[in-house]
Structure 1
Amino acid sequence: MIAHLSDLHFGRHDPPAAATLADDVAAAGPDVVVVTGDSTTRARNAEFAQARAFLDGLVAPLLVVCGNHDVPLFGVGRLVAPYDRYRAWLDVDLEPRLDLPGIRALGLQSMPRWRWKNGRVSARQSALVGTYLGAAPTGAVRLLALHHPPFVRGPARIAGRGALLRAVAAAGVDLVLAGHTHVPASRRLDLAPGHRLVEVVAGTATSLRLRGAPRSWTVIRVDAGHIHVEARVEVDGCWRGGPAVSHPRAAPGTH
């Protein structure tokens, strides 16, 4: 099982939700916890310390990526050392990798210092998707995580989208996890003949900044035929399961 959290926004968070979230995640028994960015609100040391303390309370292996709020908004730090605090507090590796029984996961840093809010994935990062996820063992779940939803079109689309989508299809990626919108969603995408994946966008788990949806985190269960996605919703510090959505999975062995 995969626990997918995003947009924690420590520094502008709801304390009751944060206080009960780790226990709710642990009760689900995840094999891995993926956090798709914006662990802080303004990339301040105090916020990173809160995020680090929360992450240390999670019981499964972690894969965490950087979001646009994890980079200083203004000042010299954004220009010369935009990721130093993130690396010092959360993960020195901006492109973390996990290789576990039955799953291979890769995180990408989609927030360059020179973009204000929208993301970018470089040609080098797209190539990494192919070399790392494309070489996963047959039948393993191939998981890509980044902060910005990569399939969005229009003004919010990420730079480098076309090359990334081609790499995702060529590598046979099963799951793409993202955040950024604060609204949970999932959908199946057929990017190329014979290739099917599921995109899951997690809502905000603990932020006070809601966008028409309650705080939530996402449970993802994968079996041979389907990817099951369920958002767990917070109400007054208590977490409740919502309806699960099942998406057909590409048959193992077709990669």
Structure 2
Amino acid sequence: MSVLLHLSDLHFGAHDPAVCEAVARLAARLGVRVLVVSGDLTQRATAEEFELSHRFLSALPTEHCLVLPGNHDVPLYAWWERLGGRAYDRYARWWGDVLEPTCSADGFLVVGVNTTRWWRHQRGSLSVRQIDAVAERLSAARPDAWRIVVSHHPLVAAHPQDRSHRPHRSERALTRWSAAGAQLLLSGHAHEPGLVEPITGLWSAQAGTAVSVRLRADAPNSLITLERLPSPSGTGDQRWLTRWDYVREAGEFLPVQRHDLTSPSPLAPGALQDPGPPRG
């Protein structure tokens, strides 16, 4: 079994230490091998916030890690850095200059794409060059890899109120990447989880805010895990997606929605499907 943990919108500087500890416990309990973080590591892109987020993520018991910047990781008030071509310098100090990393491990191929722009505060964008580059990486993937594209902004609106969060050229990207073999999109930004299938065979999973106190009224802290399990028939594998919500009374993240992405239709929010014997 291979397990991937997807976190988004940590917003260190506006984070809850108790929830951070619950994330670490869950990662250890599940034996997470691959960590994917889709941006907004910080609240205001300060050195202290980047240091806190880096310390937290580096301490999680995972072997592979892919991190992307979010719009909050670009300095909002230091306009001279943005205009001077140094919008990502603070981020790069902790996470390096590669803003669109790729991770291939444990049967997952995760392709990162940076939808943030230095001249925008919230809305994202995709260039034709970026769309083509992601498609080329997907096309070159092994046939048995779980082909995933991760971005900060959601390319698909899981909820009607999230339509304005979609980056420019989203439709073009969806068509191109689906044709190139993409099977799953991971994103955040809206602070509300959701799962939809915009194109047959291509799922879009939107994570909530993992550890921030900046919650939507109807969405607690939440995160997503992906699991590859051997198929009972012995041919191929099962691909499970689980949404975990932080339950304050329990002090832990608990599973609230679970779906086999090889099945034809998603579960209703809040439903929980039993995949078989408990893990670990």
TM-score normalised to the size of structure 2? Answer: 0.82
Maintained 8 Å contact 1:143/1:177: yes
CA RMSD of aligned residues (A): 1.8
SS of the residue corresponding to residue 176 of structure 2 reads helix
Runs of 4 or more consecutive aligned structure 1 residues displaced over 6 Å after TM superposition:
none
Mapped partners of 1:31, 1:221: distance in 2: 10
For the Cα contact (< 8 Å) 1:198–1:227, is it kept in 2? Answer: no
Residue identity over aligned pairs, in percent, reads: 36
Kindly state the Cα deviation for residue 58 of structure 1 after the two structures are TM-superposed. Answer: 1.6
Distance 2:241 2:163 in 1: 26
Match of 1:253 in 2: none
Query: C-alpha deviations, 1:194-223, integer Å up to 9, x for none?
Result: x51111111111100110211111112245
Q: How does 1:99-114 map to 2 (within 5 A)?
A: 99-114=104-119
Query: 2:30: which partner in 1?
Result: 28
* Match status 1:49 vs 2:19: no
Retained in 2: the 8 A contact 1:227–1:249? no
Q: Which amino acid aligns with 2:80?
A: V
Pick closer, same or farther for the CA change 1:158–1:243 going to 2, 3 Å.
closer
Q: Is 1:227 matched up with 2:229?
A: no
Given candidates 223, 227, 241, the residue that maps to 1:217 is: 223
Output the amino acid matched with 1:105: V
Letter in 2 for 1:72: P
How far the C-alpha of 1:225 sits from its partner, in A, is 6.1
1:185: which partner in 2? Answer: 194
What is the distance in 1 between the residues matched to 2:94 and 2:170?
Answer: 29
Partner of 2:82: 78
1:87 matches 2:95:
no
- Give the Cα–Cα distance (whole angstroms) in 2 for the partners of residues 198 and 249 of structure 1: 11
User: What SS class does the counterpart of residue 248 from structure 1 fall into?
Assistant: coil
Length-normalised TM-score, structure 1: 0.90
Given that 2:45 and 2:90 are in contact with CA atoms closer than 8 Å, whether structure 1 keeps it comes out as yes
Amino acid at match of 1:108: V
SS at match of 1:219: strand
Query: Is the contact between residue 112 and residue 119 of structure 1 (CA under 8 Å) also seen in structure 2?
Result: yes
Query: After the TM superposition, which of the residue ranges 220-229 and 21-30 deviates more from structure 2?
Result: 220-229
- Please say if residues 50 and 94 of structure 2, whose CA atoms lie closer than 8 Å, have aligned partners that are also in contact: yes
Q: Distance in 2 between matches of 1:47 and 1:229?
A: 30
Unaligned runs of 5+ in 1: 251-255
Q: Of 251, 262, 280, which residue of structure 2 is paired with 1:248?
A: 262
Per the TM alignment, residue 249 of structure 1 is displaced from its structure 2 partner at its CA by 6.1
